[in-house]
A and B are shown apart, each in its own frame.
Chain A
Amino acid sequence: EAGVAQSPRYKIIEKRQSVAFWCNPISGHATLYWYQQILGQGPKLLIQFQNNGVVDDSQLPKDRFSAERLKGVDSTLKIQPAKLEDSAVYLCASSSGTASYEQYFGPGTRLTVT
């Protein structure tokens, strides 16, 4: 079974530029999550999709961050414009969303904003 795929793995941009991350979850997984992990901290949920609907985006900075999940499968997370404090690892995870609480994480995208 293929795992959660993310791209790119690394990205360096200047502040005020825009950036997009892509995630392909495990096939058949209805629930998809985007997390932000700042150095020295645990992952913080940004947005959670159930199929292609948003379940929770309470911690997503909506003035600069946006996310979509096309046809309930792949997802993209965009930051526009980026700030220095957005430097972090962005993790995508998926789960079957039924009785299992287990989330499967991708390798993450390390974003550096200079």
Chain B
Amino acid sequence: DQQVKQNSPSLSVQEGRISILNCDYTNSMFDYFLWYKKYPAEGPTFLISISSIKDKNEDGRFTVFLNKSAKHLSLHIVPSQPGDSAVYFCAASEGDNFNKFYFGSGTKLNVKP
């Protein structure tokens, strides 16, 4: 039973435009969310996080939005750059559960020059 879902396996965006990656979760006890970025043949690297006490967190070109009532979060990348082309995973955790994270299946972003 997948508790974190990324329903779009791939996304293609033109350089300079906005990329929006979506993630849905089913467990209402999740209260901390992460986005990871993964290049081929490398491990995932941390990108940005958000806790359930916030509905938005921004870091440079990356913004994560959290809609707790809809159990939905999204990652916005503005402007998108070719170097952003990678697989993006969202992950969710119950805060007091020793950092046990559940990952989505990933969305492959392709930013075209």
Contacts and interface: CB of A to CB of B under 8 A. Distances in A.
Interface of A: 4, 31, 35, 40-45, 48, 50, 55-56, 91, 93, 95, 97, 101-108
Contacts of A35: 103
B101 A41 contact: no
Given A91-B43, A101-B32, A42 B98 contact: no
B46 A104 contact: yes
Given A104-B46, A105-B43, A44 B100 contact: no
Contacts of A91: 43-44
B99 interface: yes
B84 to A, nearest CB: 19
B98 A44 contact: no
A42 B99 CA distance: 17
Given A43-B103, A95-B99, A101 B43 contact: no
A95 B42 CA distance: 18
Contact of A42 (B42, B45, B103): B103
Contacts of B89: 42-43
A31 B98 CA distance: 9
A105 to B, nearest CB: 3
Contacts of A101: 32, 34, 49, 93, 99, 101
Contacts of A45: 100-102
Interface string B32-47: 1010100001111110
B105 interface: yes
B34 A42 contact: no
A97 B99 contact: yes
Nearest to B43: A105
Contacts of B100: 45, 48, 55-56
A9 to B, nearest CB: 8
Contact of A103 (B41, B42, B46): B46
Nearest to B91: A42
